[in-house]
Structure 1
Amino acid sequence: MEAASFVDRVEDMTDLELAMLLSLIAEHHCLIEVDDDLLNDLASELALIARDVFSLSYIILERADVQSIDEFVAAILDDNNDVEDPADALEDDSNQACFSNPGICLVDGLSFRGAPSTQNAQFQSDSPTVVNVIIAKDFNFAHDDVQVQALELIRKRRIYSRTTVHVAPKAFLLLPIVSTSSKHVRLNAHLNDRIFMSHYHEAEDGFPNLEEMDIARHSEDESAYSYSHSPSVRREDMIASRRIESELIDQLRVQGKAATVTPEIRRYLQDVVAFLRLARGVDGGVTPYATTLFLALAKYLAPFHGIDYVTPALITLAAKKVYPHRIIMASPTRERSTQYGTNVTTARDLLRDLDPHTVLQHVLDTVECPA
C-alpha cells in the first residue's frame, strides 16, 4: 500500500491500531489506560493487532513477571530463532501454554507469547533477541529495578541477562497497561518521561479484533459441514487486506519528519508549553524532552490527515496525548499560590476538581490559537 492511499484507511482503523501505528512510526512507546475489568481483553486485543495487523511477535506480561529482573528478561526474549511458519508456531505455542496452565489462554488461537515476527528473520543470532511488542499489564506496579531495566532497553535497545546481551529489533514497542483505579501509582519518573504518549481506551470502543475472532470461531462451528469457504480462510483474507507492512511505516515516518511547521505554529506550541508549566496545580512533568516529543507527534499526525504541514488542531491533539501521563499535580502545601499568602485549606479546595486533563484543556482554551 502506498502512503497516498493510506489516508482512506485511517477512518476504518481502531483507536488501538492507530496508537500502535503512531508508536511504530515515531519509534517510541505508548502507555494505555483502561477500566479495571477490561485489562485482560485489552492485552489480548493489542496482541492480535501486533500479530495480525503488523506481523510482529509479542509477549503479554503479568504483574508477577515484572517483580524481578531475571523473570522480566527471561519473559521478553524471543526464543524462536528457527525460521518457521508463524501460524504453525502460534498453534504450537497456544497448545503448550494451555496444557501447562489452562487459564493462560484468553482467547482461542492466541497465546501469551506470539509467533516469531516476519521482520525478525534478518536478526537471527546465537543469543535470543527481544520480542517486537511487550504488552505489560499493571506495569506501574513493576519493581523499581525492572523499570530501570525497561528504561535502559528503550533508550539503548539492548538488555543484559546473566550470560549475554540481548538486542531489541528495529520494530520494538513497550506498551505498559495501567488500570484506571491504579493510575495514581506512577511509573519511574525517567521511564515515564520516555513514554511517547498515553491513550485511554473507552469501553464503548470495544475490542473489534477479539470480537471478530469470536464471530469467526462461532461461524466455523456452525459451518463444519458446509461446502462454502472456511471462516478461518475468510478471516485470513480479511486480515491480509488490513495488514500494514514495514515499508508503509517507513514512508509515513519520512513524510512526518518532513512536515512543515510555520513560525506561528511553533510559537503556538511553545505558548502551550509555557502556560502549562505555569498552570495552577501543576507541580512538574512538563519537561524539555516532552516538548521534543510534542512537536514530533504533531508532525507525525500530518500524514494521517493527508497533509504535509502542522495545523493548530494537530497541536491540540498532540498535547492531549503527550502530557496527561506526564503532568504531576501539586499537593495543597506545594500549590504555587501558597507562596503568596493563600492558606493550605483554600489551596486544597482549589485543587480538588483539578486533574491533568482539566488543566490541559484549560490551557488549550486559554492560549490564543493562530488564525
Structure 2
Amino acid sequence: MTPRESILELQKRMGQSIIGQEAVIERLLLALLCGGNVLLEGLPGLAKTRAVKSLAKNLECDYRRIQFTPDLLPADVTGSEIYYDKGGQGEFVFQPGPVFGNLILADEINRAPAKVQSSLLEAMEEHHVTVAGKTHKLPELFMVLATQNPIEQEGTYPLPEAQRDRFLIHVMVRYSSDEDERKIMQLVRSEDGSGGSSGTPPAVIPQQAVFDARKEIHAVAVAESVEKYMVAIIAATRRPEGFGKDLARWITVGASPRGTLALDRMSRALAWFRGKDHVTPDDVRAVALDCLRHRVLLSYEAQADAKSADDVLSQLIKQVAVA
C-alpha cells in the first residue's frame, strides 16, 4: 500500500470501533502525521481514551498510559536513576519512565499538580528527557495525547496557557447523534457477546507508513497568498480592534507563533489527506479552530457575554480576507 492508503486504512479501522466521532479520528491522524501533540477535551464517556487506544491498537507502536492523579510525581512520568550495588561496586542506572514510548496517553492531565504537568514539557517540545544531568532521547515516533474533562474542576490544576500552547491542536469531543448512540450500544453489545474477540486481527499499520507520509506532506505546496492568509488570521487574533469593538473587548491575548506553524502543518496534512498536492484557504479554515482555540485568551467580558473561543474565532475568521 502507498502511505496514503495505509493512513486511510488506519482511519477505516478506527472508525469501526469509534462511532460518531469521525472528526476526532481525522484530527488524531492529522496530528500523528504532523508529529504533534493533542489535547482532547470532552465530557466523560465520549470515547476520548477509546479513540487513543484504537489508534495504538492498529498502529505499530509502543503504547503507554499514564493516569494523572494529585499524588503523581515527575519521576513517575520521566523515570529516575536507581542505585544498584554489584559486588561492592555501586552505580546509578537510569530506569526509563512511561514517557519512553511512541503514543503516550496522559489521562486527565489536569488532575496532577503543575510540577508533574511540566515534566512532559521537555518531552513534548524537545523529544528528549533530562534526568540527573543526563539527556535521554525519545523514540522517533513520539506523540502525547492528553485528555481532560470540562466539568468537575474541584481539586484540579488547570493547564497554564504556556503549556497548552505546546499542544499542536486542542480537539473538542462532543456528543454523538441519537442514531450513532444506538450504533454505539449495538457495538458494545456485540463486543460483550464475543468476549472482545472477533477472530485474528489484521496486521497493524507499520510506523514506516507514517514516516513516508510525512515526507509526502512536506512536499505539499503552499502558495504565497495562502501563507499570507495564515499569517493574517494569526495577526487578527493579536490586533482584533481592526475587526470590530466586540472582538477587541473579547480577546485579551492573541495566538503565539506556534499558532502559525500549527496552521501550516495541519493544513498541509489535511490537503494531503484529501488527496491534493497544494493547500487551499478552505484547508486552513477547516483546521483553524483546532489550532487556535487553546492559544487565544478571552477576557471577562467574553465570558459575561457567554462567548466561547470557538464563537470568537469563528466571527474573526469570517472577516479575514484571502490575500
- Shared topology, TM-score over 0.5? yes
Unaligned stretches of 5+ in structure 1? 76-124, 222-230, 332-347
- Displacement of 1:270 in angstroms is 1.9
Q: CA deviation at 1:7?
A: 7.8
Specify the code of the residue in structure 2 equivalent to 1:42.
Answer: K
The match for 1:313 is 282
CA distance in 1, matches of 2:231, 2:135: 40
Per-residue CA deviation, residues 181-239 of structure 1 (Å, 9 max, x unaligned), is: 26896423332111100111223177999975762451359xxxxxxxxx5325x13xx
Structure 2: how far apart are the matches of 1:215 and 1:164?
A: 49
Q: Determine which of 168, 190, 198 is the counterpart of 1:232.
A: 198
Q: 1:136, CA displacement in angstroms?
A: 1.5
| Of 293, 308, 330, the match for 2:262 | 293
Q: Return the alpha-carbon distance in structure 2 between the equivalents of residues 265 and 351 of structure 1.
A: 35
Is 208-217 or 254-263 further displaced after alignment? 208-217
Q: Distance in 2 between matches of 1:48 and 1:4?
A: 19
Q: Which of 273, 279, 300 matches 1:304?
A: 273
- Match of residue 305 from structure 2: 352
1:210–1:66: structure 2 CA closer, same or farther, 3 Å change rule? farther
Give matches, 1:89-128, under 5 Å.
Answer: 128=96
Aligned residue in 2 for 1:328: 297
- Give the counterpart of 2:193 among 195, 218, 232: 218
Return the structure number with greater helix share. Answer: 1
Partner of 2:28: 20
Task: Compute the displacement of 1:329 (Å).
Answer: 0.5
Partners of 2:212 and 2:254 lie apart in 1 by: 32
Given the superposition, is the C-alpha separation of residues 153 and 182 from structure 1 closer, same or farther in structure 2, using an over 3 Å criterion?
farther
| Structure 1 match to 2:172 | 200
1:215 counterpart letter in structure 2: S
- Are 1:266 and 2:272 an aligned pair? no
Structure 1: distance between partners of 2:237 and 2:302 = 20
In structure 2, the residue matched to 1:38 is: 45
Alignment partner, residue 159 of structure 2: 187
Normalised by the size of structure 1, how large is the TM-score? 0.67
CA displacement at 1:364 relative to structure 2: 1.7
2:320 corresponds to 1:367: yes
Aligned residues: 288
Cα distance change on mapping 1:163 and 1:8 into 2, 3 Å = closer
1:253 corresponds in structure 2 to 214
RMSD, matched Cα: 3.3
Tell me, in whole angstroms, the C-alpha distance in 2 between the residues paired with 1:34 and 1:169. 29
Sequence identity (%): 18
Q: Which runs of 5+ in 2 are unaligned?
A: 16-21, 81-92, 241-246
Offset of 1:349 from its aligned partner?
A: 7.8
Conserved 8 A contact 1:59-1:135: yes
Please name the residue that 1:104 is paired with: none
Letter of the 1:60 partner, please give it.
R
Mapped partners of 2:174, 2:103: distance in 1: 22
Q: Which stretch shifts more, 163-172 or 276-285? A: 163-172
Secondary structure of 1:148's aligned partner: helix
Listed one character per residue, the Cα deviations across residues 334-364 of structure 1 (whole Å, up to 9, x for unaligned) are: xxxxxxxxxxxxxx48951222101110012
CA deviation after TM superposition for structure 1 residue 257, in Å: 1.4
Identify if the C-alpha distance between structure 1 residues 5 and 136 changes in structure 2 by more than 3 Å, giving closer, same or farther: closer
Distance in structure 1 (CA, Å) of the matches to 2:138 and 2:151: 32
More strand by share: 2
What's the TM-score, normalizing by structure 2? 0.76
CA distance in 2, matches of 1:136, 1:210: 27
SS in 1 for 2:236: helix
Give the distance between the partners of 1:285 and 1:60, measured in 2 at CA. 33
Pairing partner for 2:105 from 135, 142, 149: 135
Is contact 1:255-1:308 (8 Å) kept? no
Shifted more, 299-308 versus 269-278: the winner is: 269-278
Kindly tell me: are residues 126 and 273 of structure 1, through their superposed partners in 2, closer, same or farther at Cα, counting changes over 3 Å? closer
Asked if the contact 2:64/2:101 (under 8 Å) is kept, the reply is yes
CA distance in 1, matches of 2:292, 2:104: 22
- Whole-Å separation in 1 of the counterparts to 2:187 and 2:135: 39
Match of 1:177 among 128, 136, 147: 147
Number of the residue aligned with 2:55:
49
Deviates more, 1:287-296 or 1:197-206: 197-206
For 1:253 and 1:210, the matched residues in 2 are separated by 36
Amino acid at match of 1:191: Q
CA distance in structure 1 between the aligned counterparts of 2:60 and 2:102, rounded to whole angstroms: 10
1:29 is matched with 37
Cα separation, partners in 2 of 1:270 and 1:325, compared to 1, 3 Å:
same
Query: What is the aligned partner in structure 1 of residue 65 from structure 2?
Result: 60
Question: Do the aligned partners of 2:296 and 2:309 also contact (CA within 8 Å) in 1?
Answer: yes
Distance in 1 (CA, whole Å) between partners of 2:109 and 2:11 is: 30
Instruction: Give the deviation of 1:258 after TM superposition.
Output: 1.3
Note closer, same or farther for the CA distance 1:357–1:199 as it changes in structure 2 (3 Å cut): same
